[in-house]
Structure 1
């Protein structure tokens, strides 16, 4: 069977840069591919949203903390960064944490947080860019208050993830999580060749953004190698695994990658990576 474009690039030793919105997204969506690529070529994971601001938190933020059994967001994100370092080192790939605040804890520019101002103390949502999960974060709409963050993501992408002859992997934004859409938007605006990954586990309940797929003339490739290795890597994110998979089992489903149909000539023929 003909090799898929990602296998072709990896086997040729082309470096791989994975853009990860949060401190588990790269492994959740691309863990099988990265397990195969590690040792065959250079792999680097660049994670954007790796911090949390100080309390008071929104109701959505507090619900998330309860879901993962934590009370302090700053302490949780220190734990999450440590987990990610351990997983990356076990996998044998390079990593970089950019230190931007997760949208659950991201305040409007100039907002003072909870230490000053009684309004933000009584109603924390008033100072947050995305005050609720369902009505703001999960809509996939980037807030006008978040243009600074988008600029930071774009600048970081230019500096860290765009050497010549590199396969750049970015989220496709399945499920509409705004942090995923921010990274996708920055990758799309970069003007560089990008392969997009289907965001797992969101893709188990949501369909791709057809407007985005059609706009970029994307075609799908399935990747089914190293899925057992991926399961072990996901378990390394101890603070998140139980909340993500409350029934305890990670579905062994193929990873999905989308690339421009025009890239056939440069990446090789399309095929199933099984």
Structure 2
């Protein structure tokens, strides 16, 4: 691959691209390649509506009041700076903040996070795709999540990306791929895989960047030490070191 490549990683939430690809991004930027991380669900909740009960419960558990999105945007800027990527935050709210046309919350309980994209939200994929098509340069390499774990926002991101007329790559969603011991090669032949040698220094910066998401580390991994162990275990079996071409 040439050193002048321009990569755009589509991250469903503020941390997904860094969690899954932080070491690769360190190595890509070190080679002089341009890397941007576009957070898809980076918008604020509707200030004219009370938070849905599930979202309110999550805010209370994290002890952040109503300022979670602002906090996570700041965490994301710090994390992306550590790996050399620039940031773009989309305006679509996280699924926990979204409502269906009848006014009911999209997410009522944790099980709803893993359902297929709701029929009422299919138009969101179309709108996202049109927005990206008008903003993504024709020669940019777009990287989307495989949607391992089946989180609804990951599915929505992949669905929207697959309609783009752009070179498209995929990454394995961490930590879901690790938690569920999912195959990292996605069943694709070797000629459709781009491997990136991620060295020890890049691994350390990857872990440091994840640690910048202070609101998420304990919830996802139990502790920072637990995070570093899980990232290294993922890395040792090849995770976060290659992308797949559609």
TM range, normalised to the smaller chain?
Answer: 0.7 to 0.9
Which structure 2 residues correspond to residues 93-104 of structure 1 after superposition, within 5 A? Answer: 93-104=85-96
Check whether the contact 1:174–1:202 (CA below 8 A) recurs between aligned residues.
yes
1:43 is paired with a residue of what secondary structure? strand
- Which runs of 5 or more residues in structure 2 are unaligned? none
Aligned Cα root-mean-square deviation (Å): 2.6
CA distance in 2, matches of 1:63, 1:192: 39
Of residues 201-210 and 167-176 in structure 1, the stretch that sits farther from structure 2 once superposed is 201-210
Is 1:154–2:129 an aligned residue pair? Answer: yes
Tell me which residue corresponds to 1:35: 26
2:124 is paired with a residue of what secondary structure? helix
Tell me which residue corresponds to 1:14: 5
Check whether the contact 2:43–2:89 (CA below 8 A) recurs between aligned residues.
no
CA distance in 2, matches of 1:198, 1:62: 30
Check whether the contact 1:67–1:243 (CA below 8 A) recurs between aligned residues.
no
Tell me which residue corresponds to 2:110: 133
* TM-score in terms of structure 1 length: 0.74
Check whether the contact 2:217–2:223 (CA below 8 A) recurs between aligned residues.
no
CA distance in 1, matches of 2:241, 2:52: 34
Tell me which residue corresponds to 1:259: 244
Tell me which residue corresponds to 2:118: 143
Which of 37, 44, 67 does residue 45 from structure 1 map onto?
37
CA distance in 2, matches of 1:59, 1:138: 18
Tell me which residue corresponds to 1:65: 59
Deviations 1:221-247 (A, max 9, x none): 665432111000011111111211114
Which of 166, 182, 195 does residue 156 from structure 2 map onto?
182
* TM-score in terms of structure 2 length: 0.82
Check whether the contact 2:41–2:92 (CA below 8 A) recurs between aligned residues.
yes
**Residue correspondences, number:** 229
Check whether the contact 1:138–1:176 (CA below 8 A) recurs between aligned residues.
yes
- Which runs of 5 or more residues in structure 1 are unaligned? 1-8, 112-126, 262-274
Report how far residue 159 of structure 1 moved. 2.3
Which of 214, 217, 228 does residue 241 from structure 1 map onto?
217
CA distance in 1, matches of 2:245, 2:162: 12
Of residues 249-258 and 43-52 in structure 1, the stretch that sits farther from structure 2 once superposed is 249-258
